Structure 1
Amino acid sequence: MNAEKEKAMQQLKTARGQIDGILKMIDEGRYCVDISNQIIAVQSLLKKANMLILKQHLNYCVKAAFKSNSGEEKIDEVMDILEKLIGK
């Protein structure tokens, strides 16, 4: 596993732990703003993990596809992901 995937895995595991904490906060009736702040923190971790996975995809999958003259399809895949990220 490469460095980007390892970092993404760690961030996703951290996010999973935070989600468990959020569920506990809700169950305990904690203050809504505190819960919302924790949800925002998890969203940030998920975005960072996604960016690491995309970086890995560009560095390995897309690069390999261009070497074998099939890069256009990979570009379309990345564009689809970017459109989802920016909300188009």
Structure 2
Amino acid sequence: MTDTTSGAPNPPHGYADHKTDHLSRLHKVEGQVRGITRMVADDRYCVDVLTQIGAVTHALQEVALGLLDDHVRHCVRDAVLSDPAEGDAKLDEVALTLRRALRL
């Protein structure tokens, strides 16, 4: 993987060790969303559709939490240990990301 602007290789992202797990979950979510689409097309009962939407929402939240955990344990920790200013920037980034995710 290379940086598109400089051509230099990118370091692996914090989630590299769990990439296969994240992709697997996302593929399952993709299948669940297709199932919901079929349910609506087939005029299935509203509560059943809403139940499946809740399941997809929860599954996506689990992926998000896994990515956040990987980011904090790798990217943020490495930045804090290597350079205090960079560490502060990464912590600010995490706070902003959580604010967006939680809509605060």
TM over 0.5: yes
Q: Which amino acid aligns with 1:26?
A: V
Q: Does 1:62 align with 2:44?
A: no
Q: Which amino acid aligns with 2:17?
A: N
Q: Would you say the 8 A contact 1:22–1:39 is kept in 2?
A: yes
1:15-38 Cα offsets, whole Å, 9 max, x none, are 110000000111111111100110
Specify the alignment match of 2:93 in structure 1. Answer: 77
Specify the alignment match of 1:50 in structure 2. Answer: 64
Q: Does 1:2 align with 2:5?
A: no
Structure 2 unaligned spans of 5+: 1-15
Structure 1 unaligned spans of 5+: none
Distance 1:79 1:55 in 2: 13
What is the Cα deviation at residue 78 of structure 1?
0.5
Q: Which amino acid aligns with 1:38?
A: Q
Q: Does the residue aligned with 2:31 lie in a helix, a strand or coil?
A: helix
What is the Cα deviation at residue 82 of structure 1?
1.1
Structure with higher RCO (Cα < 8 A, 6+ apart):
1
Q: State the number of aligned residues.
A: 87
What is the Cα deviation at residue 81 of structure 1?
1.4
Higher Rg of the two aligned structures: 2
Distance 1:7 1:56 in 2: 12
Q: Which amino acid aligns with 2:58?
A: S
Structure-2-length-normalised TM-score? 0.78
Percent identical pairs in the alignment equals 33
Q: Does the residue aligned with 1:2 lie in a helix, a strand or coil?
A: helix
Structure-1-length-normalised TM-score? 0.91
Q: Which amino acid aligns with 2:101?
A: L
